[in-house]
Structure 1
Amino acid sequence: MRPFVFAVLLSSAWPAACLAQTATIDTTKAPATVLPGVYADPHIAAFGKNFYLYPTTDGIEGWGATSFTAWSSPDLVHWKNEGVILDLPRDLAWAKARAWAPAMATKNGKYYYYYSADTNIGVAVADKPTGPFKDPLGKPLVPKGQFKGQAIDPMTFVDDDGTAYLYWGQGQCHVVKLNPDMVSYDVAAVIEFKPPGYNEGSFVFKRQGKYYLMWSEYDTRDPRYSVAYATASSPLGPFTKASANPVLHGQGVVKGAGHHSVVQVPGTDEWFIAYHRFKIPGGNGYNRETCISPMRFDAQGNILPVNVFEPVKPTKIKKAAPARP
């Protein structure tokens, strides 16, 4: 396993104008959530002419959820509950509880749903982004105890050439190139690394030829829970952590903003970040709610600080993303 190298990148990601704007925000009134009730760890994606959210079902002490739902929206504001897409007791033979932190990818005309179940990572496959999803392996894709840290929080990035990469891990980050079938990989090729401050929730995207690795810092029960990032010229790294971090964090009435995902509006350079925060009022690490905010970049490609008090505005997909090979 080859080592990863991290450095600090001096950047201008916190311009004076942005800091001045932040200072004038009313931090006592947070925008409404996009999903009703308590949901966490949202994975956001765009397929066809719709956006989709795949969250963890929250509100249970010890994070004991047993099923996953999907939500669809034509505009990021109005969301429809598509129902349960994977029920652990019903659909799996190897795990019954602790359904956490899913992710979605598409390739070969199929939809691949990666998820945490009883601190293993599994994969399910469907013909549509809303399922029904089936377990093609009958066992975990990444079993607990095989690598350092907890085997949770999967994320799959599919590059422009169709090559897919699986990231995961709490306490330690891992990456491996998936085989073309999207449900297998070379165990010997797994790379382990740990960015400074890394705890969990890795997420990767590509913009203008640059790869961005983002992750959550602190514990999800900690009001300081937040999101930082690094960049690289390859999806396998090495990554350089930006100095202007975190780029997403709580402020005022907003606590514990983290465990995010990012979506690009197809055909544009418009980006949004989905994340959870402590429920307002009275929330904690087991009662979290899902939000979406705009995410912007400066001229050098640095991620600008996310304003958690800026409500998401209706945004439609005018040009659907091309299918992955």
Structure 2
Amino acid sequence: MGSQSGWRGETPSPIAGYFADPNIDVVDGRYLVLATTDGSPEWGSTAFRAFTSSDLRTWQDHGEVFDVRFAAWASGHAWAPAYAQANGKHYLYFTADRGSIGVAVADEPTGPYIDSGRPLVAPGDFDGVAIDPAVFMDTDGTAYLYWGNGTAHGVRLAPDMLSFAPADVVSWVPENFREAAWVHRRGTDYFLSWSVDDTRSEDYQVHYSTGAGPLGPWHYQGVLLRKNVERGILATGHHSITAVPGTDHWVIAYHRFALPEGNGYHRELRFDRLHHGPDGLLEQVVPSGPPLCLPLPDAAPAGRV
């Protein structure tokens, strides 16, 4: 484990407590974050929590929105929630039992969510370990699901958001890929980003590639986010990205070792600006400075760019 001895008074997360794997989106004019509940050995929590905010600084805790023990096929290890909105419903994709991916449905973004009744991806269905789902909604309304540890997988979801054609799954191994693949789009450019190393390592970080479509092909571009030892900020990874609707402002959410004495089981959430450079590439995120405050426009529309 890395030491926090280099800590220089960095401000703790605006969301108090141990949480990880944040999925950030903008829904009904507010930021929505779904997160893994952290703080237990071997990531043994069973439930996810939801938080909302209008500015990324002041957050409302909506409590537990789904417990995997209410799924008939799962018993624990609730990791890495992902969110999508379609068909007038809200969808929560999640990891359970260390290697299965499920999906639950709700009428409101903060739940309660009801399990669909079966795993969407079961152990052994595809190469690698089935963890860390993410969903990208393209501008034409098509939704794509991503997941994987060791091997990345992507596929177009069916309109019901509860299924996909196994034959359509595209699999690949990004540079130094570990887990937590995420896709976002700006204009005609697609960006794939992912976590490198182990979440228990202080060198946990994010790399990225660019592509011409939601399933690639992808061109490796390098590091997007890494630790800042001078400020004691370690293990920056398992991120998500959203745009402020109607603007070209972008936010990256991620977790890090909690300050000042966290580790791979005691993590906290962080929010920073993400910048697209004039060359079309992403500028490396430097995790430093005061907590980000980025108010949403009044009556911002729902959905992710």
Interval of TM-score (by shorter of Structure 1 and Structure 2): over 0.9
Check 1:176–1:295 CA distance in 2 against 1; reply closer, same or farther (3 A cut).
same
* Matched residue, 2:138: 159
* Matched residue, 1:241: 220
Among 33, 42, 57, the residue aligned to 2:37: 57
Could you list the structure 1 runs, at least 4 aligned residues long, displaced by more than 6 angstroms after superposition: none
Q: Distance in 2 between matches of 1:186 and 1:212?
A: 24
Equivalent pair of 1:27/1:309 in contact (CA under 8 Å):
no
Q: Secondary structure at the match of 2:167?
A: helix
Q: Distance in 1 between matches of 2:81 and 2:296?
A: 24
* Matched residue, 1:46: 26
**TM-score when scaled to structure 2?**
0.94
Check 1:30–1:221 CA distance in 2 against 1; reply closer, same or farther (3 A cut).
same
CA deviations over 1:225-258 (Å, ceiling 9, x no partner) = 000110111101100011xx21111112001011
Q: Secondary structure at the match of 2:154?
A: strand
Are 1:296 and 2:275 matched, yes or no? Answer: yes
Q: Distance in 2 between matches of 1:41 and 1:30?
A: 20
CA deviations over 1:157-185 (Å, ceiling 9, x no partner) = 11111111110001110001111111000
Residue identity matched to 1:69:
R
Counting matched residue pairs gives 295
Among 75, 78, 90, the residue aligned to 1:99: 78
Q: Secondary structure at the match of 1:142?
A: coil
Q: Distance in 2 between matches of 1:222 and 1:161?
A: 39
Q: Secondary structure at the match of 1:246?
A: strand
Check 1:27–1:61 CA distance in 2 against 1; reply closer, same or farther (3 A cut).
closer
Equivalent pair of 2:12/2:259 in contact (CA under 8 Å):
no
* Matched residue, 1:112: 91
Q: Secondary structure at the match of 1:62?
A: helix
* Matched residue, 1:28: 8
How far apart are residue 322 of structure 1 and its match? 5.4
User: Identity of counterpart residues, as a percentage?
Assistant: 43
Q: Distance in 2 between matches of 1:322 and 1:33?
A: 25
Are 1:78 and 2:58 matched, yes or no? Answer: yes
How far apart are residue 27 of structure 1 and its match? 6.8
Are 1:283 and 2:248 matched, yes or no? Answer: no
Residue identity matched to 1:286:
Y
* Matched residue, 2:3: none
Equivalent pair of 2:46/2:77 in contact (CA under 8 Å):
yes
Among 91, 114, 118, the residue aligned to 1:139: 118
Alignment of 1:305-324 (within 5 A): 305-310=284-289, 311-321=291-301
Are 1:66 and 2:46 matched, yes or no? Answer: yes
How far apart are residue 297 of structure 1 and its match? 1.5
Equivalent pair of 1:107/1:323 in contact (CA under 8 Å):
no
**TM-score when scaled to structure 1?**
0.88
Residue identity matched to 1:158:
M
How far apart are residue 323 of structure 1 and its match? 6.2
Q: Distance in 2 between matches of 1:143 and 1:283?
A: 32
Query: Structure 1: which 5+ runs fail to align?
Result: 1-25
Query: Structure 2: which 5+ runs fail to align?
Result: 1-5
How far apart are residue 300 of structure 1 and its match? 1.4
